[in-house]
Each structure stands twice: as structure tokens, then as C-alpha cells.
């Protein structure tokens, strides 16, 4: 697996109202609006979350959704979701469905800002599926109850990435739909 900073990735970024390929780190340093993908793998009301590897360039060691990334320039968001499930967690033959698109802006530390327009995907599975987390990306994984996760992100925000806290506080119904009663 390649390290996310081994090469400067070009990600779709809005410049003067149009999408253009820009280097990921430059985008984050300037806080520019850019495309992103987030995936939630669920089993009923349970969701698979990951704790980010301590070597990550921002928010290391914090809990996040199943996986997330930036699509490469000219990469379809659905293809990106499938790619990232494979790269981060070793999940193959899973094709998550588009759930919604949300936008957020958050300081992620180290002088970096995420200003993302995120295509969110959800896939329903069983927790018995095989996971092979990439240690360069993921420190650990856990299956948690969706409602417990929502409550804990509010009670203990320092444990979670800014985007997961935003998803749970502002977009839970839009992301999980019928699962949220």
C-alpha cells in the first residue's frame, strides 16, 4: 500500500467556480473547497468505525467513519469509495450505495483545514466479513451502535474526527435514512 503523502495527489478543487486538479496538501493549507468521499459500513443499527493510524498527517489516533478520502482527479466517487474500502480495510466485493452529499468546513490541526463537498456512501453487511486493516491507515476498528456513537461524539468530541462529529450531529438522518428512527 502506498503512503498517502508519498506523492502529491491531485484532488478535484474549486478554483474560481470551476473544478481544477490541485495538490492535496496545498488545498488543505489554504482551506480550499474540494471533493471528498466518506463511506459508512453498517449492520442494522451498528456501524463500523476506525481509529486513524498515528502516522496520519492530520487527526491521527481519532475515531472516524468506516473510511474516507479524496477522489483522484477524474475519479468517479463510487469507484473511489470501493478503492478506499480495499486500501484501508481490505474490504473487497462491496459496492456501497450513494446516500447523500454534504458540505462542511473544519480545522483539522497543524494549520490544515478540510472544506469538503462529500459524497457519502453506505453499505449494509454483516460483522462477520473479513477485514484486513492497513496499519499505515488504520490503528483499530470497532462495530458500534449508531445511537451510542451519536451520543458519544457529543459527550467526548476530542475522541472523534471533526467530520464524524459533524455527520452525527447534523446529517445522521440524511446519511442513515430509515435506520434512524
What residues are annotated to the active site? 68, 116
d(CA 144, CA 59): 20
d(CA 180, CA 167): 13
Among the listed residues 128, 135, 164, the one whose alpha carbon sits nearest the alpha carbon of residue 149: 164
**What are the start-end ranges of the H helices in 90-156?**
146-155
d(CA 10, CA 22): 5
Q: How many other C-beta atoms lie within 10 A of the C-beta of residue 50?
A: 24
d(CA 6, CA 137): 13
d(CA 48, CA 89): 11
Among the listed residues 51, 9, 28, the one whose alpha carbon sits nearest the alpha carbon of residue 137: 51
Q: Say whether 140 sits in a helix, a strand or coil.
A: strand
Amino acid at each position: 500500500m502506498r503512503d498517502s503523502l508519498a506523492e502529491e495527489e491531485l484532488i478535484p478543487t474549486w478554483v474560481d467556480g470551476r473544478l481544477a486538479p490541485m495538490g492535496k496538501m496545498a488545498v488543505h493549507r489554504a482551506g480550499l473547497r474540494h471533493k471528498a468521499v466518506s463511506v459508512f459500513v453498517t449492520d442494522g443499527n451498528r456501524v463500523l468505525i476506525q481509529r486513524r493510524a498515528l502516522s496520519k498527517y492530520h487527526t491521527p489516533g481519532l475515531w472516524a467513519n468506516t473510511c474516507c478520502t479524496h477522489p483522484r482527479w477524474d475519479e468517479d466517487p463510487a469507484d473511489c469509495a470501493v478503492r478506499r474500502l480495499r486500501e484501508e480495510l481490505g474490504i473487497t466485493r462491496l459496492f456501497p450505495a450513494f446516500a447523500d452529499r454534504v458540505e462542511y468546513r473544519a480545522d483539522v490541526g497543524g494549520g490544515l483545514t478540510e472544506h469538503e463537498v462529500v459524497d457519502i456512501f453506505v453499505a449494509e453487511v454483516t460483522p462477520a466479513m473479513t477485514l484486513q486493516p492497513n496499519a499505515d491507515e488504520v490503528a483499530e476498528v470497532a462495530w458500534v451502535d449508531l445511537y451510542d456513537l451519536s451520543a458519544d461524539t457529543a459527550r467526548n468530541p476530542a475522541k472523534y474526527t471533526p467530520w464524524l462529529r459533524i455527520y452525527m450531529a447534523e446529517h445522521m438522518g440524511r446519511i442513515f435514512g430509515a435506520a434512524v428512527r
